[in-house]
């Protein structure tokens, strides 16, 4: 629906009125009062930062209000700590990134919340306008001399605690859509992500060095992992996620030569997921390097997979380009991984792959009530290397554990 200006301003006022009523005493900082313009072309970065600064300074519960309309926002970091632990960033409109790419050259991020405790980000559409950078990256694949920047992740929650992101949609990010970095107690609920299947590096949700992170009711369609879980994470709960197109839900890649000395991922539950036409379902991936680490206490439960290339896969021999992997036997130990109630069909004949490390075999792998066919009704296969574990209940294809 095309909205006229009076309609937009009526909506804005209604929205503000509702917020005032529901916010019971919250101070409201409307970005348009600071000069932000809902026209999609006026750079509103400074007004947004100023509205944030006032909200963050407020001694009582505060709301930054973004009314309906389209706001052009450059790279912006909303920094805490704030005076209260109850700041809301309420977005009714759409935030659009600058056109072209390279505008984010220093940070690699578009919108960041940094060092905030007690924050709710609600609603809104974040449009990263990634397509020109993706074209550059595609061209680079054909012509390696072409230079393209890495790009900017759309929304990053960094060094923060007790954060809720609720009902926010991220579309066409240049890089990762939503990132949780070095944070504790972050909930992403009712979020959605969409980008084309062939958009490079557009992970839906990336979680890194964080704990007690929950994702629920997420709808993700993108060109890379729907959810990717990097090193240093513990106590994650991921529930009711639909994924596809995309590369599935991945733990890893762990064990790249650079980065942390020891890489650990512990206590992750992924429950009730739907995969449609994805490259992977549940994947655990480590580089074939001697970097030490541990992946343990992982449960994948209740999943439907429709036309997934690798429904269940552990690959400890990841080494693209075969350059940086010194010995090709991963130093990351993978243990206590359970797959329970998984059904559907694989696009490839091998539906279950456990390709573990010679020096660190996978242990305590269990399959319970798994029924995966090949292309609809054909019998699929399992493949095992350096793995031990057990099965219970019906397991199809027959397990090689």
Ligand X SMILES: *[C@@H]1O[C@H](CO)[C@@H](O)[C@H](O)[C@H]1NC(C)=O
Q: How far is the CB of 261 from ligand X (least distance, A)?
A: 23
Q: Taking every pair of C-alpha atoms in the chain, what is the biggest distance, in angstroms?
A: 68
Q: How far is the CB of 214 from ligand X (least distance, A)?
A: 7
With 0-12 / 13-18 / 19 or more C-beta atoms within 10 angstroms meaning exposed / middle / buried, residue 216 is middle
> Residue 398: how many CB atoms within 10 A of its CB?
12
Question: What is the DSSP annotation of 351-377?
Answer: EEEEE--SSS-EEEEEEEEEEEEETTT
Residue from 8, 98, 138, 237 touching ligand X (CB under 6 A): that is 237
The H or E element spanning position 293 is: strand 292-308
Q: How far is the CB of 263 from ligand X (least distance, A)?
A: 18
Stretch that binds ligand X, among 83-91, 94-102, 178-186, 229-237 (CB under 6 A): 229-237
Closest CB to ligand X among 157 and 387?
387
The upper half-sphere exposure of residue 37, i.e. CA atoms within 13 Å in the direction of its Cβ, equals: 5
Q: How far is the CB of 258 from ligand X (least distance, A)?
A: 21
Round to whole Å and give the CA distance between 21 and 80: 26
Site string for ligand X, 248-277 (x = CB under 6 A): -------------------x-x--------
Please indicate whether residue 247 is annotated as part of the active site: yes
Round to whole Å and give the CA distance between 26 and 16: 11
List 224, 225, 309, 315, catalytic entry? 224
Contacts of 135 (CB under 8 A, 6+ apart): none
Closest CB to ligand X among 253 and 317?
317
Q: Under the criterion CB under 6 A, does residue 211 sit at the interface with ligand X?
A: no
Closest CB to ligand X among 189 and 269?
269
Contact of 184 with 157, CB cutoff 8 Å: no
Q: Under the criterion CB under 6 A, does residue 235 sit at the interface with ligand X?
A: yes
The H or E element spanning position 134 is: helix 131-142
Q: How far is the CB of 350 from ligand X (least distance, A)?
A: 7
Q: Which of residues 378-397 bind ligand X (CB under 6 A)?
A: 383, 385
Please indicate whether residue 54 is annotated as part of the active site: no
Round to whole Å and give the CA distance between 195 and 203: 9
Residue from 84, 199, 222, 353 touching ligand X (CB under 6 A): that is 353
Q: Under the criterion CB under 6 A, does residue 317 sit at the interface with ligand X?
A: yes
Q: Could you tell me which of 398, 355, 400, 401 has the C-alpha nearest to residue 373? A: 398
List 15, 206, 208, 247, catalytic entry? 247
Closest CB to ligand X among 37 and 271?
271
Tell me which residues touch ligand X (CB under 6 A). 235-237, 267, 269, 317, 353, 355, 383, 385
Task: Show which residues are catalytic.
Answer: 224, 247
């Amino acid at each position: 629906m095309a909205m006229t200006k009076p309609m937009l301003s009526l909506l804005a006022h209604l929205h503000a009125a509702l917020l005032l009523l529901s916010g019971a005493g919250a101070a409201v900082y409307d970005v348009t009062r600071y000069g932000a313009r809902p026209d999609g072309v006026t750079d509103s970065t400074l007004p947004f930062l100023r509205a944030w600064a006032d909200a963050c300074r407020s001694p009582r519960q505060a709301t930054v209000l973004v009314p309906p309309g389209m706001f052009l926002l450059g790279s912006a970091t909303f920094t805490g700590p704030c005076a209260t632990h109850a700041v809301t960033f309420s977005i009714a409109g759409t935030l659009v990134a600058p056109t072209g790419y390279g505008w984010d050259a220093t940070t690699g991020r578009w919108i960041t919340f940094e060092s905030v405790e007690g924050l709710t980000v609600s609603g809104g559409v974040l449009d990263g306008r990634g397509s020109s950078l993706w074209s550059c990256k595609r061209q680079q694949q054909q012509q390696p001399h072409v230079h393209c920047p890495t790009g900017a992740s759309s929304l990053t929650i960094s060094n923060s605690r007790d954060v809720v992101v609720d009902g926010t949609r991220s579309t066409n990010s240049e890089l990762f859509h939503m990132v949780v970095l070095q944070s504790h107690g972050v909930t992403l609920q009712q979020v959605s992500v969409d980008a084309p299947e062939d958009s490079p590096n557009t992970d839906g949700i990336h979680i890194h060095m964080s704990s007690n992170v929950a994702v629920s009711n997420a709808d993700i369609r993108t060109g890379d992992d729907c959810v990717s879980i990097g090193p240093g994470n513990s106590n994650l709960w991921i529930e009711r996620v639909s994924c596809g197109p995309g590369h599935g839900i991945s733990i890893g890649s762990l064990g790249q030569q650079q980065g942390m000395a020891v890489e650990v991922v512990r206590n992750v539950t992924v429950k009730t997921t739907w995969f449609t036409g994805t490259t992977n379902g549940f994947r655990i991936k480590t580089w074939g390097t001697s970097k030490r680490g541990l992946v343990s206490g992982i449960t994948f439960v209740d999943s439907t997979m429709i036309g997934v290339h690798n429904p269940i896969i552990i690959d400890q021999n990841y080494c693209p380009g075969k350059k940086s992997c010194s010995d090709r036997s991963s130093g990351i130990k993978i243990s206590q991984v359970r797959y329970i109630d998984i059904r559907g069909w694989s696009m490839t004949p091998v539906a279950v792959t456990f390709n573990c490390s010679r020096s660190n075999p996978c242990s305590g792998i269990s399959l319970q009530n798994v029924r995966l066919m090949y292309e609809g009704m054909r019998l699929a296969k399992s493949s095992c290397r350096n793995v031990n574990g057990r099965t219970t209940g019906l397991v199809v294809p027959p397990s090689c554990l």
